[in-house]
Every structure is written in structure tokens, then in C-alpha cells.
Amino acid sequence: MNIVVGVTGGIAAYKAVNVIRGLVLAGHDVHVIPTEAALRFVGRPTLEAISRNPVHSDLYEGVAEVRHVAIGQAADLIVIAPATANTLAKLAHGLADDLLTNSVLASTAPVVVAPAMHTEMWQNPATVANIALLRERGITIVGPAVGQLTGSDSGPGRMSEPDDIVAAALAVVGPRDLAGKRILVTAGGTREALDPVRFIGNRSSGRQGVAIALAAAARGADVTLIAANLEVQAPASLAVQHVSSTLELEAAARAAAANADVVIMAAAIADYRPETVADEKIKKEKQGDTLQLTLVKNPDILHGLAHSRPAGQVVIGFAAETEPDRDALLAIGAAKAARKGVDFLVVNRVGWSEGFGAVGNAVMVLSGAGDIVSESAGSKAVVADAILDLLA
């Protein structure tokens, strides 16, 4: 999609960078229109680098190409984040004294705004009336949230988190082909405690699972996310349950899966855990030059869910493998899909510099019979939508 992101002059403008980045990583062509005030908070080079497109802000540039109209006409979606009280007033009353407001007036695309201002400004009768008028006209309002504002102030008026704005914006224009479906997604990596300080874990960041959860919600699904030690912020727009160990994740997943139409197990699960956990920090002075650990096998959560599922439930598993040869990787995936009893298995190659923690991903999706039914590469948001396409 061709998405226009308007950035207006509030301190929350710095968070707009992650809104832009999220839309770009989702595979969209993003064009940023900052107001002159916004450029006092975030520089043009930053916006151009993140959006990967030239940034225009002057109403009187590009007159020959009628830029003040053309940008809005070409847009499939307009997102304004942050939207100041001043900008909301302009939008409500059809004022157009800059390139951003001109572009909105010239567009028939859906408009999503994320207000950000001090509490008194948000609660002012003028702003309340402007928001009501914008909603009547079909403009989607995201937030604001309640929280820390500029200085020591706190209250309603804080701009919603970038991931929530991206999800809400894409939900406005995206397919609603998963509406009414209850989807359970697990994300992150489990950790097995050695003592109160140390643990055995893995390199999963949770980015792919979170991307799947956000994409499913944008397509209309009722999503539950079970998050194990994420390296990214859990989206506030989703129902999130935080866990740490494999046994905690198993208990949470079994409870949530009982009412789910789809289970997507994207979390990286520890295969083993320490047989005993020390109550105090293990001291090297007491252990000497070596430390011996006895590990016991964790339950196979994916296998258990697949073989005890209610009728009609779809179960999707993930297999992260270091095998470099494609044919050998496929053979490993096919054997695992059959052993686990899943409907689909998402196979991806991981290593020191790919897979876990990376911005992008490349996957092959196998059927339960081991056949390739889909392949996808790109941002984790792009991969998420490719996986969900199979469900739709």
C-alpha cells in the first residue's frame, strides 16, 4: 500500500519514527509529511532514512506536479502520529495551511490519527468537540493512552505505542478474513532457572510471534499472546500473558488452547531444564573449576496440544534448524511435522547471524504430510501475513 504518515509538532514526534518503521517493515511504501513544527523535534534525514523515501513539507514545493493534491490522491491510507490539538482542530474544520492538511483534504483514503497532548488540552471542550466531529466523519482515533507526559505531568494524552498505532491503522484497510476467529500465539524463548540469578535459555527475541499476533488482530481475529521473555515490547492492544519457563508456558497454553480455533506455537521452547534449582546463587568458589548439571527433558508442548486438540482446531508449529542444506532441512521438517501431528510446520534456518533476533526472516511452511505449501521471505510482518494467508 501507499501510506502517508503525517508527523506534527509535539514531543511525541520521536515515537513517530517507530510508526514509520513498523509500516515499512510490514512491506508498505511510506511517504512522510512532517509539519514545520515537527521538524523541530525530528530531523528530515531521520525521516527519509526510516521511510526510504524523500520527505516533503513545503506547501509551495513541487507546484508543477501539483504535489499538494497528488500526494493525497495517491494515498491508500493516511496516518497522523502524533496529532496535536492544533492539527485536530484543522482537520475538524477543513483548514489547509500546510502540505499535510492539504493532502488530507485532497484524499479519499481512510485517515487514522493518534492524538498526543497534555491532559488539559485533551479534555478541553474544543478538543472534545473536534474529536467527536472527526469520528462522525469516519476518521479512526487511536488513543491517547494514560501515562507519563512531558515533564512531571501524567494522565490521559500520551500517544499510543507505535506497534498499537500500526496495528490499528492496518486493521482499517486490511482484510478482515479472520474476523471471529480465536487465535492463540506463543512468542519468545523460555528460560530454565539454575538459581535466582542464572538461567538456561535461547536467542529467540519473540519478534516473529509478536508480528503474527499483531497481523492476526489486524485481520479481525481475537488474539491471545503468551509471551516468554520478549526482547520487544508486548503490544498493549492484545491480551498478553507473560510466562518464563517451559512448564509455565505449557500450563498457560493448555488453558488458552481449550477455547482457540487456531494455535500458533512460535515460541522457542527449551528442550531440557535443570533437575534441581539452587535456592541461592551458585558460588564458583564452592564449585571449583567445573560445574556439573543434570538436565531433564521438558514436556513436548506442541505434540501435546496437537494430539489433544478439540475438533476443528488448527495447530501450527515452528521449527528453527541450523541445517544449511535445503533438502536436508526439508527432511528434518517433514519428519518433525509428522512426529508432532501439526497441520502446518513453519521451518526456518537459524544461526549466529540469521533467524533469532534478526529483523527479517525466511521460512518454508510444510503441511502435516511434509509438503511445501508456502515460502516467504522479508520482514517478520511480511512472513506473518504469509502464514496467516494459509488460514484465511
Of 356, 5, 359, residue with least CA distance to 187: 356
Domain coordinates in residue numbering, the chain:
2-173, 182-391
Separation between Cα atoms, residue 189 and residue 202, nearest integer Å: 6
Residue showing cell 500500526: 166
Q: Is the bond preceding residue 125 a cis peptide, omega within 30 degrees?
A: no
Residue 107 CB contacts under 8 Å (≥ 6 apart), including other chains: 4, 72, 73, 75, 78
Q: Of 202, 229, 298, 361, which is the active-site residue?
A: 202
Q: What is the grid cell recorded at 224?
A: 491471545
Render pLDDT for 36-52 as a digit per residue (tens, 0 to 9): 999 999 999 999 999 99
Whether 202 sits among the annotated catalytic residues: the reply is yes
Separation between Cα atoms, residue 98 and residue 4, nearest integer Å: 15
Burial (CB < 10 A; 0-12, 13-18, 19+), residue 149, is: buried
In the chain, what is the straight-line distance between the N-terminal and C-terminal CA atoms, in Å? 20
Separation between Cα atoms, residue 157 and residue 219, nearest integer Å: 27
Q: So what's the pLDDT on residue 347? A: 96
Q: So what's the pLDDT on residue 357? A: 64
Of 214, 184, 227, 222, residue with least CA distance to 316: 184
Q: What is the grid cell recorded at 227?
A: 509471551
CB 142 within 8 A of CB 114: yes
CB 9 within 8 A of CB 84: yes
Span 182-391 CATH architecture:
3-Layer(aba) Sandwich (3.40)
Q: So what's the pLDDT on residue 143? A: 85
- Total residues belonging to the chain: 392
Q: Are strands 199-200 and 192-193 parallel, antiparallel or unpaired?
A: antiparallel
Q: So what's the pLDDT on residue 233? A: 77
Of 135, 72, 60, 62, residue with least CA distance to 106: 72
Radius of gyration of the chain (CA): 24
Cα angle: 232, vertex 235, 241; to 5 degrees: 90
Chain-centre distance of CA 285, in angstroms?
44
Render pLDDT for 8-23 as a digit per residue (tens, 0 to 9): 999 999 999 999 998 9
List, for the chain, all residue ranges whose pLDDT scores fall below the cut of 50: none
Separation between Cα atoms, residue 298 and residue 250, nearest integer Å: 10
Please tell me the pTM assigned to this model. 0.76
Q: So what's the pLDDT on residue 308? A: 96
Residue 104 CB contacts under 8 Å (≥ 6 apart), including other chains: 6, 72, 78, 80, 91, 96, 111
Q: Are strands 314-321 and 262-265 parallel, antiparallel or unpaired?
A: parallel
Q: So what's the pLDDT on residue 342? A: 97
Q: What is residue 256's three-state secondary structure?
A: helix
Q: What is residue 258's three-state secondary structure?
A: coil
Q: Which CATH number fits domain 2-173: 3.40.50.300, 3.40.50.1950, 3.40.50.1240, 3.30.428.10?
A: 3.40.50.1950
Q: So what's the pLDDT on residue 188? A: 96
